[in-house]
Amino acid sequence: MTVESGQARAPWPALVSVPLRLAYGIYAALLFLLVALVALLGVLLLPSLRARRGTARIAAKSFFFLSGMPLKVRGLENLPAGQCVVAANHASYLDGVVMAAALPPRFGFVIKREMNDVPLAGLLLRRIGSEFVDRSNRHKGGTDARRVLRTAANGHSLVFFPEGTFKPEVGLGKFHTGAFAIAARASCPVVPAVILGTRRNMPATRVLPRPGPLEVRYGTPLLAAPSLGAQDDPALALRDRARAAILAELGEPDLA
């Protein structure tokens, strides 16, 4: 697979007319809405969390297959059989859907609180066990972080986008420490994940997607090193190691 600027090259010739691009974008958007509504019906009716997450995973994989965005997943053997934290780069609204398709249904997502207020999407995310965190309010953010830590302490595997959000600039942004503090306190490994192709297919500057291949690569699990003293923070070291692993595989500039 050819990779350019860390993103899989899409078969989208420059000569494709604007009407065809628009027609595809509308088709993909309507398809996503239809698949999301079917998934929402399933997660509302199914009693178990694992079944609801499995339904969301099937829906996500179906969307990518039907929309001409073939998804390849590499390094699944790097996901521990037990609890872990997955930390991935964030470049597009498609990233969460990609990770839903690329991960087993035992994973829950940690998402910015604004998504809880999005009609239908917030309901679907709550039903698949997502955790919402507030990064704009320090007090609420601390409360959210303690709740997520309790979730991790109970043995749940979680997915984080440590950049917190995505921007139009191409590159890997600064990482927040929360995911790595939780992993260090829960004594579970962090698996760095690289998402390729979503920035090209639906960057921050686009409303409608375009077709093209997508890829997720799971790296080697990382464990927090034991603290060596009062000035040593295992979470910071773990964050930096995970970010370096993602940056090396991503092939994009370092925006931090």
E strands, 162-213, are 190-196
Q: Which two tokens stand for residue 63?
A: 């969307």
Q: Which two tokens stand for residue 226?
A: 């034991």
- Cα dihedral: 209, 98, 57, 146 (round 10): -120
Q: How many other β-carbons are positioned within 10 Å of the β-carbon of residue 71?
A: 18
- Please tell me the distance from the alpha carbon of residue 191 to that of residue 175, in angstroms, as a whole number: 15
E strands, 104-180, are 107-112, 131-133, 157-160
Q: How many other β-carbons are positioned within 10 Å of the β-carbon of residue 231?
A: 6
Q: Which two tokens stand for residue 159?
A: 């997915």
Q: Three-class SS of residue 172?
A: strand
CATH of domain 16-250: 3.40.1130.10
pLDDT, position 152: 82
pLDDT, position 2: 38
Residues 211/219, Cβ–Cβ less than 8 Å: no
pLDDT, position 80: 94
pLDDT, position 209: 94
pLDDT along the chain (256 residues), means of 10: 46 67 94 96 95 96 97 97 95 96 94 83 91 75 78 87 92 94 92 97 92 97 76 87 97 92
- Please tell me the distance from the alpha carbon of residue 54 to that of residue 3, in angstroms, as a whole number: 30
Q: How many other β-carbons are positioned within 10 Å of the β-carbon of residue 112?
A: 14
pLDDT, position 143: 80
Among 158, 160, 150, 166, CA closest to 239: 160
pLDDT tens readout for residues 157-188: 999 999 988 989 999 999 999 999 999 998 99
Q: What backbone phi and psi angles, to 5 degrees, belong to 216?
A: -125, 130
